[in-house]
Amino acid sequence: MIDQYVDTAQARFRYMRAGTGTPVLLVPGTGGWRLTFHAMAPVLAGRNTVLALDPPGQGLTEVRDPAFGYDADAIAGSINAFLDAVGVDRTAIVGHSWGGGFALRFAELFPNRVTRLGLLAPGGIDVKDVCEFRLLRLPVLGELVVRLTSTTTSVRHMLRKSFVHRERIPTDLIGEVVREMKSGHNRATRLRDMLRVERSVSWIDTERDLHLVRAPVLLLWGRRDRYFPVRLVDRLTTRLPTVEQHLLPDCGHSLHDDCPEQTYTLLSPFLQLDR
């Protein structure tokens, strides 16, 4: 995977590119960044051009537009501009956690640009965040918490909660994530952007507009997810026009790393159906 940058009117995007073929955009969950796809990207790159993105408020992407809104519509609009900038007209999208919510909102607002949606324990449902993220919405305390998230202990805690099979936690990435979060270049601005996204995103419109999604959807969820309980599945499957769902036993929130064989067995052929 090669790290690259591209500029749009909204932001300077950091992303990784690998492989050749039909495009697949990977959108990570909050706090995960493009690095959460370090194992997935090479698997999909055998048949696809894979683009793993740091959305605004994550990783080393820097918001440049002072009028940027930081909500789900703004993030979706920024993804639209990113695809223009890298010359991709239509793409499949794989979104994890809040990245799945952003993928859904993008598919609702820009349906002609999406060929397929692979959703891994996605956001997009109007429910309360878990306590770790609710704290970020509080004045003063949120600023303190967002600084604490740049510690090794905090990153390790988030990962441990996201896995059932803790021996599969990519511990080698913890140091890399912390180094990026502590990077001196525009660090304060990037932490501010992270907090603004957390405080601005609401999924009310995304859940209301699920019927607007035209692309076929593959929905994968771990039965032992500790961030988004599996009971939320029905709120998606009853509203999405075309959806195939699979509930994976003994899998947590980061099911693509926690249960990679089960995930790729379902995801890889789904992404190839339109070839």
Q: Over the stretch 142-184, which tens digit does the pLDDT of each residue have?
A: 555 565 555 566 667 777 888 999 899 887 766 666 666 666 5
Per the listing, tokens 């690259």 go with 4
Average pLDDT score, the chain: 87
User: What one-character DSSP code corresponds to residue 166?
Assistant: G
C-alpha 120: how far from its chain's center? 9
Helical H segments across 39-170, by residue range = 40-44, 72-86, 98-109, 131-134, 141-148, 152-162
CA distances (Å), 94 to each of 16, 97, 119, in order? 14, 10, 6
**What's the pLDDT score for residue 101?**
96
pLDDT at 114: 98
| pLDDT digit string, tens, across residues 22-44 | 999 999 987 666 778 989 999 99
- Closest C-alpha among 159, 101, 89, 92 to residue 129: 101
* Helices then strands, each counted (H, E), the chain: 12, 9
Would the pLDDT of 136 be above 90? no
CATH for 135: 3.40.50.1820
**Radius of gyration, CA atoms only, the chain:** 17
Has residue 141 got a pLDDT over 60?
Answer: no
Average pLDDT estimate for 107-117: 98
Contacts of 238 (CB under 8 A, 6+ apart): none
Q: What is the pLDDT of residues 80-109, one digit of tens each?
A: 999 999 999 999 999 999 999 999 999 999
- Minimal CA–CA distance to 49: which of 83, 99, 97? 83
CA 133-219-114 angle, 5° bins: 95
**Token pair listed for 114:** 């999406």
pLDDT for residue 124: 95
As a whole number of angstroms, the distance between CA 99 and CA 33 comes to 9
**% of the chain beyond a pLDDT of 90:** 66
3-class SS shares of the chain: helix, strand, coil, % to 5: 45, 20, 35
CA 144, 149, 154, 159 torsion-angle sign: positive
Q: Provide the domain count of the chain.
A: 1
Q: What is the pLDDT of residue 140?
A: 46
* Residue-number span of the structural domain to which 222 is assigned: 2-272
